[in-house]
Chain A
Amino acid sequence: QQQVKQSPQSLIVQKGGISIINCAYENTAFDYFPWYQQFPGKGPALLIAIRPDVSEKKEGRFTISFNKSAKQFSLHIMDSQPGDSATYFCAASMMASGSRLTFGEGTQLTVNP
């Protein structure tokens, strides 16, 4: 059962544009939603994370928007740069029960110069 669905599978954006990646989850008990960034030949790295008590979290050019009622959350990359070209994974877990992260399938982002 795919509990976290991520879209799109791939995304091409021009430099300076906004990249938007969406995720939807099914389990309403999830209470921690991180995003990971993975460059070719590297392991995933935690980029930004949000808890459901807030609707938005911003760190630099990266923003997570969270819609609890719709069970959706998204990553927005403002002023996208070629260096942002990577694969992005959303994930979800239930921190209270110490559950493991359930990952989305990933989005391959390409930012053209």
Chain B
Amino acid sequence: ETGVTQTPRHLVMGMTNKKSLKCEQHLGHNAMYWYKQSAKKPLELMFVYNFKEQTENNSVPSRFSPECPNSSHLFLHLHTLQPEDSALYLCASSQGEGIEMGAFFGQGTRLTVV
């Protein structure tokens, strides 16, 4: 285990549903990230939080809403998604804000929008 836990592992939702993805890290890291991984595409950074404060929103549509109540927990709230939003959503954490300082990824949530 990498110390970053994501739930649920799989999620199927309709376009009118509202759901949330959860990420928890037990590594004492200060920074947390959401990435989107689509087939045959590079990993796309979505959001960055450092000490609970959002430091980056990479032009993500408003149907994705992040929440970071503390340095150990990160949520991604989903509403009125589109089929093209189906992907693997990965959470990561690192000691510093730079992911290159030793980032650890969770196993991801496989999201399917129907």
Which B-chain residue is minimally distant from A90 (CB atoms)? Answer: B42
Q: Main secondary structure on chain A at its contact with chain B?
A: loop
Interface size for A (C-beta < 8 A) is: 23
Cβ contact of A46, chosen from B43, B58, B102, cutoff 8 A: B102
The answer to whether the Cβ of B103 comes within 8 Å of any Cβ in the partner chain is: yes
Chain A contacts for B100, CB-based, 8 A: 32, 34, 49, 93, 95, 101
The answer to whether the Cβ of A61 comes within 8 Å of any Cβ in the partner chain is: no
Which B-chain residue is minimally distant from A108 (CB atoms)? Answer: B40
The answer to whether the Cβ of A45 comes within 8 Å of any Cβ in the partner chain is: yes
* Extra 11 A-B pairs, beta carbons < 8 Å, given A4-B42, A101-B43: A2-B42, A42-B105, A43-B4, A43-B92, A43-B105, A89-B43, A95-B100, A103-B43, A104-B42, A105-B42, A106-B40
Chain B contacts for A2, CB-based, 8 A: 42
Task: Tell me the bound Cα distance from A45 to B94 in angstroms.
Answer: 12
Q: How large is the interface on B (under 10, 10 to 19, 20 to 34, 35 or more residues)?
A: 20 to 34
A101, B2: Cβ atoms under 8 Å?
no
B73-114 vs A, CB cutoff 8 Å, 1 = contact: the mask equals: 000000000000000001110000111101111111000000
A93, B98: Cβ atoms under 8 Å?
yes
Which B-chain residue is minimally distant from A34 (CB atoms)? Answer: B100
| 19 A/B residue pairs, CB under 8 Å, sorted by A | A9-B40, A42-B107, A43-B2, A43-B4, A43-B90, A43-B105, A43-B107, A93-B98, A93-B100, A95-B98, A95-B100, A101-B45, A101-B100, A102-B42, A103-B42, A105-B40, A105-B42, A106-B40, A106-B42
